[in-house]
Chains A and B, each alone.
Chain A
Amino acid sequence: MSGVRKQVLQILPGLLFLFLISLISGILMPRFVRLLPSSLLLAIPTAFLAFAETLVMISGEVDLSLTGSLVLINAVAVSAYTDYHINEFLFVAVPLIVGLIIGVIHGLLVAFGRLNSFLVTAGTSFAWSGLALVILRQPRGNVPLWFAEIFSTGKILGIPLAALFALIASLFWLLFSLSPLALKSYAVGSSPKATFSFGINVNRVKFYAFVLNGFLIGMAGLIMTGIVGSGDPRLGGFSTVLAVLAALIGGATFAGGTGNGLGAFLAAIGLQFTRNLIAWVGVAHYHLDLFYGAALLVLIAGIAYLRRSREI
């Protein structure tokens, strides 16, 4: 089936990148393999963000609110539990619900409001991170005990968490690719006008892309909250840029119409490993961001250069 072959080809860049970085890390860093389960788990939130970003980029838009959204989700979840003593099992649903709400808001603004997606999400990023600060005021709070334990042991019912989440992501991508929404999203991202002429509601497709994106950000938020174990309004850092870069490696472009969620997922893990590698190389911690930023820049430049259109 040519569909499977196409998928494999698309996932390849991300997979190769991850493999390469793992190989280098494995050679240079003595404890790489032993630390693998935890470093994998730490990378999963960003991986979900990359997946989320890909969905949006396929349909021709972009989401720059990832850092802010992540922080807000964390804040709301932790606050709901710590301040309002929400039911422990409901707690797991909170990040997903907040993520969905954020997705819906973005969807309404960009798809139906016809606002420019990168400016709008840049703006909402501020709004969300500000709200997170309002809710938490400072790093504090806690999560249900059983929840924190799962993440500190890194296993649930004996299954390594990272593997479980990777499986969930793969399933999600499978479901998406097989759904009618997928083809429509690629079409909308490539040629909105032609797709419109087919009688397809372009705005609705973009809206759904943002809603799914919100849900996946919710997943990332859920996992991140589990890892950190409390609320921290300063979370995030490079998340947005990492997610976008991973999406690019996964085949997405700013023009829209291409991209692979799984490829981005894997690429994000690779990028996180890259950061660990740079940290290990021994740069002083206040130089870390500088080198990492430079490394990311080189990667982006490489991708952009390879893809540049021969035009003006």
Chain B
Amino acid sequence: MRSKLNKLKQRFQAKGKSLLPFGLVLLLLLIGQFFSPGFFSLSHLTHILTLAAPLGIMAIGQTFVILSGKEDVDFSSGANASLSIVLTAFLLQRYNHGITILIILTVGFIFGLMNGFSVRVIGIPPLIMTFCSSMLLYGVGQAITRGMSIGTSTPVLTFMALGRIAGIPVAFLIWMGSTILAALVLHATIYGRWLYAAGSNPMATHLAGISNKVVGMVAYALSGTLSAFAGLLFLGRFSIPSGFRMAEIYTLPCIMAVILGGTNFFGGEGGFTGSIGSVIALTILDSFFTIFNISQAWRTVMYGLLLVIILIFFVRREKLRI
């Protein structure tokens, strides 16, 4: 009898993990409505979805990386997006949208691949490597902003970031489209199978003839590309790049969203659905900060605390005494 109950509990926990964020969203909306009437309205909700989109796209890339292995995480997402912001503004002065976007995505891809190569082939721990590459990315961004004139966003980008089609935010559509594509890669391709296997048990994956190195490199490359893509939306939203670290504050929430969304930090388990909810939840939380006029300083404190709380519930070392 007890074992049956345990089994039931396990199944519920598995499903529950990806539903939790949506419950959180509901809770936050209700709280918001209480303090600020109009919060739980359709117009505000659509606004939130617009704001959440870039972070959501970054989270997709982060999910690939976190799924791929035990310690894998991408701390360079924000830096990648930041570089993308200034680089796009810079390039748009000279080239058309098509070429600019192509270049941006390629740059993101290359930096991501560099991360993946360093982590999987050279053997640098992911934390250190992505941290360092974020320094490099900021360095490049810094070099661009100091030396040269930067442009601004264009109507096309602004439309992508803030516009609506039939009342639905374009950014949200782009986010959902990316999610669907990513989900297809994860669940319908052989690479997806490899990714889950590599994250679950690298040794077994290696024994089965699958290259953990390739799996990892592709994951990091995807993350770099998606973060760069998110930068486009950021530029569309902010219009004028103010410095080379604009998206820095999104790195940690990106990681938190993935963990909160039910993906196992140690890899091998998880997906994109939960992240959708957690990204929205974090965005709502951020708008709380604006409503309650919380200073940037306090926000940083709260994000730090939030991470600790998330960890308490989601990422704990196993006990020594089983």
Q: Please list the residues of chain A having a beta carbon within 8 angstroms of any beta carbon in chain B.
A: 62, 64, 109, 113-116, 118-120, 122-134, 137, 192-193, 196, 202, 238, 241, 244, 254, 284, 286-287, 289-291, 293-294, 296-297, 300-301, 304-305, 307-309, 312
Size category of the binding interface on chain B: 35 or more
- Residue in contact with B123 in the complex, picked from A116, A244, A287, A305, CB distance below 8 Å: A305
A130 to B252, CA, bound (A): 14
Closest to A312 in B: B206
CB-based contact A134/B301 at 8 Å: yes
- Residue in contact with B308 in the complex, picked from A62, A124, A196, A291, CB distance below 8 Å: A124
Q: Is B295 an interface residue (CB 8 A)?
A: yes
Beyond the given A116-B317, A193-B320, could you list 20 further A-B residue pairs with CB under 8 A, ordered by the A residue number?
A62-B127, A113-B316, A115-B311, A115-B316, A116-B316, A119-B315, A127-B300, A127-B301, A130-B298, A133-B295, A134-B297, A241-B135, A287-B139, A289-B135, A289-B138, A289-B142, A290-B135, A293-B139, A301-B118, A312-B202
Q: Please list the residues of chain B having a beta carbon within 8 angstroms of any beta carbon in chain A.
A: 75, 118, 122-125, 127-129, 131-133, 135-136, 138-140, 142-143, 146-147, 202-203, 205-206, 212, 252, 255, 265, 295-308, 311-312, 315-321
A109 to B125, CA, bound (A): 23
CB-based contact A301/B122 at 8 Å: yes
Name the A residues within 8 Å of B255 (CB-CB). Answer: 119
CB-based contact B122/A304 at 8 Å: yes
A289 to B146, CA, bound (A): 13
Determine the main DSSP class of A at the interface with B: helix
A293 to B134, CA, bound (A): 9
A284 to B142, CA, bound (A): 11
List 16 interface pairs A-B (beta carbons < 8 Å), by A numbering. A113-B312, A115-B308, A120-B311, A126-B252, A127-B301, A129-B300, A130-B301, A196-B321, A241-B131, A284-B146, A287-B139, A289-B142, A291-B139, A304-B124, A304-B125, A312-B206
Closest to A306 in B: B123
A308 to B123, CA, bound (A): 6
Contact of A300 with B143 at beta-carbon distance under 8 Å, contacts A123-B311, A125-B304, A131-B301 already known: no
Name the B residues within 8 Å of A122 (CB-CB). Answer: 75, 252, 307
Name the A residues within 8 Å of B139 (CB-CB). Answer: 287, 289-291, 293-294
Closest to B305 in A: A127
